[in-house]
Structure 1
């Protein structure tokens, strides 16, 4: 039935997607596969599933027996390891789980002329990810219904629901294969250029030579997924290593996870082999390529936290938009040669904030930005890419409107939001553009999670701000005990963290609203709109007798300042960095009742004490300005007491240091005592930059150099600020 369409897709190098929802899914899927095998007799197959779900291994074995040959079965939860893989036939078992992130990742692995198949018995029942959104047996299905509705509208999508088939063919006449034109008189050797799959990749090779110029330089490479940007960078590094450039003998590659950057290493090896270069590979125990050595040149992968303090000639940051702008700032301050590579309109991070960041960088340093347009895994105009962009709103953007003091705030029911595609695109576009990391799962949360409010701010009749509010707390004793013992995660994020990690069990009994996300369109930020939206949420919470309003997010200085300015108090900071989000999670709370106020004062006091005692160890890599802001914004713990009088010898030591008679290390104990006393019992208000310097050097124990990198200052400037701070404290505490 579909053979002629599959023949056309091979001719046009575009893909088909088949979605099967039926109790007879096995028969219907194999019917599709039989038609495809008439066109491609020996396809490479990727099969995705959860191997531990009941019946899933048996289904996988059935497919493996019928599809002899190159067959790779991949556990969904390990899928990140296979980024960059591609296949002719990609099959997704969604009988037990239907999660947008996995759908996006695996469908993207299908190459031109290929077929992706998603099969299930029912999209709504017994789905693991949906169950995580269920509370009191209630969960919505707005995301799934929209997913299926979009499938009916798009050409190239085969939707089979029991005996009903929806399919509008796509034509190869509309697809455009990428050109592989090599630039005239290329400076990169022809053997490397011949490995490129598109003119865009050839362009990247030549444009990358920019980084070899004198002085501090940043090269930014951006593209939608599937354009071959990581492969291009890998080929360029192969050329650089082969040429034995003395000024580039030590190259660092970093990325949110190792697997984000593995394609760079893979194509570096391909390039070196093409150039017939001699090289050595060093791998980890589990087989990861960690270092490539070519003569005196060493290229190795290092995690972002370690990479920013590494010494070298060039650093390559892959998936830069997902790392966080604070880390990027630190890297760019510390390195002279930087290549930033990132996905725009991707499912790993939106890249919108990254684009604004690039525009700012252009004003302060020498930067070249190169964009890639043509996909290499499939033809431009591919119907599956278009479907995935629309159904997952990967290209959603905030409305183009400027706020004119006419803010109107409304609560929008989820059903109204998902029944109006223009409104949904506008609201989700605001969330995407305001946050540097988004994923398709966020869209499903917006549509299916029933225990939430969606508050939208309008100007000139168009959305410019959004708050997504989730109901939490009100837990009974059994639920609290289960969380405390680590038996269950009830879906109440803030009570869960406070119960499990702080052990304040009764906090879970209070009723709270967690502001999951609050966002203002980029053009309208800094105008007080977010605070106005927040005030409306607070008023509504007070009317409904809510005990507290809070938020949890990866801590960022400007974001935290927003919450503190609006009366929210930090009460929790994770002790372990979230590697996926590349940061520490913080919880801020605004108490609305007396019992909530008692909890907030106590918990924030313990957080202050924890920072004062462990910044040199647990939070060594945290921005010192952030630590100073948290210390300023928390209550004093009454259980922690210092003497009113500063010990005489401490005062004398600090005076001698300020006058230049003894070095800092000789007075580190005295500096720590007086700095701790300042944050516990401030008599004066030091400036933010001085507080940051004291935190970096005194509490975190950073060297002058690394403190300077964190603060954007020279070593001398940091020490000057430390001396100034100690002098001012000395004057306020001198007995």
Structure 2
């Protein structure tokens, strides 16, 4: 087909897509020079306002996207999106940007012929590969896997200048008429529900749930505009300012300039630090905000709306649905949920949305996994190349990993296929994955490199456990050993607390023994429950990061277990860590809970108190000595006896004596109203607990 005829055909199809209110996915295979030239010609024949471009050779009028913009893309729109895969294929960004294409827009993928493409390196996935792999030469499996998925989807495929597959056009959507400013009847219902949160009973939050492109962010802005005209003050928060733009734009379009200060965007970490008041808090893209933050916001604000993408390129929505909504049911039994099904940017059955959801495994499983405790289970072990023939199993694993961690993204799927040092171990029954763990093979670094890491002169990608042991624990020789790090472990939500996670960890240790692995490790944001889980599995703590995550307030912990190497080294590292932590609690760990401080820190073994010293403490317990006179003695007594004390008493003394918290903080923790009442309570507890 002559190029002019091909371009005319594409222009006609683009117009047809606009009439049907869908996006046009086009995959164009050929040589780089020819396709870039053809694309320039195509862009000159099609009118557009905004062009997004991924990869090299972007035209001057294009917005050239980079890998840092995933969350910033939420809510933004373009008429044409071109992906130049000749300079690399960033799976995460491809998935994220697809949602920006408007109805009547073109999604254009420029790539080598499929057979040639899957044999090439992918430099765009450089950040996914561990040392010493070179992204410029390493051939992963993601592109081959993605092509297999792509071949099953509805799209236009062009080979050079010949159309090899045409689009299977969906039927026209039925016409619906909704009064402005609404785009759908569901959106109108959503706005009415938001308004009811303000006028109805307190502490009855609303969750607006939908896939992308359903108009939920716009609904927030429309509702805020209506509330502003009645004098209400609204706060809007989101994972980033860019993610809040759609709601803000709709609000400003519908209100006079004098009312624009009625809706304020405030970053969620700032909201937690400040004492903010509002008639309503709107949380957009709530699934991309850590669950502990959402829980704090829920406690702080009595009228709140959470808008969430329940699944999408972020891979976070399912975790929000399962974890945070369970918390809502406990704390606010009267909360409501509204599901928006009807797309507003494009019609139901849009080919591009279906392509992205299917090719990146973003579709939700139809059924929850079932477990028969009386039937046999078996363990699976998968490496990167295995997934090419196990797409259905990979989909189960990817969804399960998404549920385990709020930041799981498409790049994690790509890493499973492109990083040969990643392996997955599963617990399965009747072809269903009940639990899975993602494991990184690390260590075996050259001695010179391990020494350079120990000296702080080098860092290498993909060896978190080895580097931490060399640098933070001052044991560079351990970085030369073969190590496995359990990056994530997840059990089906409906099957938790049935010891399946423990079974899987036991199997991982057995597999590590067979593979002659020296140590197993894991690093994660620590909570009391997670710490207990890993301790029960035989892991000990060897490091605690010195800064907490600003969103979740969790400190990153590193835990270790000996497999074929010396368990004594684990014991030494754990003792070294716990005594250092005791000394640094007040200085370096201001946000650490007293519960975790008690579980992780260990004071130096103090000498027994003398009879005279015990007499002084007894006088304090009788109200005959001031706290300031005996505080050092109380510390020595506590260090001797803290393990046997009741939880509330020892957590209070830990906060006061180990962590050196201020009296206002102590009073907030205990719920008491004055320093005197708190000291009286401590004195009484001292007497009760065997002084």
What TM-score do the two structures reach when normalised by structure 2? 0.85
Q: Do structure 1's residue 75 and structure 2's residue 66 form an aligned pair?
A: yes
**CA distance 1:239–1:543, change in 2 (3 Å):** same
Instruction: Pick one of 169, 181, 195 that aligns with 2:178.
Output: 181
SS in 2 for 1:425: helix
Q: Do structure 1's residue 46 and structure 2's residue 56 form an aligned pair?
A: no
Q: Do structure 1's residue 333 and structure 2's residue 299 form an aligned pair?
A: yes
> 1:101-137, CA deviations, whole angstroms, 9 ceiling, x for partnerless residues?
1111122211111112233554632514246425554
Matched length: 668
> 1:22-68, CA deviations, whole angstroms, 9 ceiling, x for partnerless residues?
4x224324425644654x4244212234xxxxxx4xx22xx22xxx6
Say if 2:140 and 2:417, in contact at 8 Å, map to a contact too.
yes
Instruction: Pick one of 392, 403, 416 that aligns with 1:446.
Output: 416
Q: C-alpha distance in 2, partners of 1:159/1:573? A: 54
SS in 2 for 1:526: coil
Q: Do structure 1's residue 392 and structure 2's residue 360 form an aligned pair?
A: yes
> 1:215-247, CA deviations, whole angstroms, 9 ceiling, x for partnerless residues?
3232222211222322321332233233213xx
Q: Do structure 1's residue 546 and structure 2's residue 512 form an aligned pair?
A: no
Q: Report how far residue 345 of structure 1 moved.
A: 0.6
Paired position in structure 2 for 1:200? 186
Q: C-alpha distance in 2, partners of 1:256/1:673? A: 48
Instruction: Pick one of 224, 234, 254 that aligns with 1:237.
Output: 224
Q: C-alpha distance in 1, partners of 2:537/2:164? A: 51
Q: Report how far residue 84 of structure 1 moved.
A: 1.9
Q: RMSD value over aligned CA atoms?
A: 3.7
Where do residues 343-358 of structure 1 align in structure 2 (5 Å cutoff)?
343-356=309-322, 357-358=324-325
Q: Report how far residue 444 of structure 1 moved.
A: 1.1
Q: Do structure 1's residue 362 and structure 2's residue 370 form an aligned pair?
A: no
Paired position in structure 2 for 1:169? 167
Q: Do structure 1's residue 217 and structure 2's residue 223 form an aligned pair?
A: no
> 1:186-227, CA deviations, whole angstroms, 9 ceiling, x for partnerless residues?
xxxxxxxx2333323222211012222233232222211222
Paired position in structure 2 for 1:155? 154
Say if 2:623 and 2:683, in contact at 8 Å, map to a contact too.
no
Q: C-alpha distance in 2, partners of 1:252/1:448? A: 42
**CA distance 1:219–1:42, change in 2 (3 Å):** closer
Say if 1:458 and 1:464, in contact at 8 Å, map to a contact too.
yes
Q: Report how far residue 591 of structure 1 moved.
A: 2.0
Comparing 226-235 and 500-509, the one that deviates more:
500-509
Unpaired stretches in structure 1, ≥5 consecutive residues: 50-55, 183-193, 280-291
Instruction: Pick one of 127, 130, 133 that aligns with 2:123.
Output: 127
Q: C-alpha distance in 1, partners of 2:563/2:634? A: 34
Say if 1:473 and 1:495, in contact at 8 Å, map to a contact too.
yes
Instruction: Pick one of 383, 386, 405 that aligns with 2:351.
Output: 383
SS in 2 for 1:517: strand
Say if 1:646 and 1:733, in contact at 8 Å, map to a contact too.
no
Unpaired stretches in structure 2, ≥5 consecutive residues: 1-5
Paired position in structure 2 for 1:307? 272
Q: C-alpha distance in 2, partners of 1:707/1:388? A: 51
Say if 2:156 and 2:163, in contact at 8 Å, map to a contact too.
no
Q: Do structure 1's residue 597 and structure 2's residue 597 form an aligned pair?
A: no
Q: Report how far residue 702 of structure 1 moved.
A: 5.9
Q: Report how far residue 410 of structure 1 moved.
A: 2.8
Q: Do structure 1's residue 512 and structure 2's residue 509 form an aligned pair?
A: no
Say if 1:696 and 1:702, in contact at 8 Å, map to a contact too.
yes
Paired position in structure 2 for 1:12? 20
Q: C-alpha distance in 1, partners of 2:273/2:218? A: 23
Q: C-alpha distance in 2, partners of 1:455/1:722? A: 52
SS in 2 for 1:457: strand
Q: C-alpha distance in 1, partners of 2:674/2:318? A: 34
Q: Report how far residue 97 of structure 1 moved.
A: 3.5
SS in 1 for 2:205: strand
> 1:426-449, CA deviations, whole angstroms, 9 ceiling, x for partnerless residues?
222222233333110111121222
> 1:157-192, CA deviations, whole angstroms, 9 ceiling, x for partnerless residues?
4365x6886534131425567x5624xxxxxxxxxx
What TM-score do the two structures reach when normalised by structure 1? 0.80
Say if 1:691 and 1:725, in contact at 8 Å, map to a contact too.
no
Q: C-alpha distance in 1, partners of 2:629/2:342? A: 60
SS in 2 for 1:6: helix
**CA distance 1:341–1:172, change in 2 (3 Å):** same
Say if 1:693 and 1:722, in contact at 8 Å, map to a contact too.
no
**CA distance 1:676–1:84, change in 2 (3 Å):** farther
**CA distance 1:19–1:480, change in 2 (3 Å):** farther
**CA distance 1:45–1:542, change in 2 (3 Å):** same
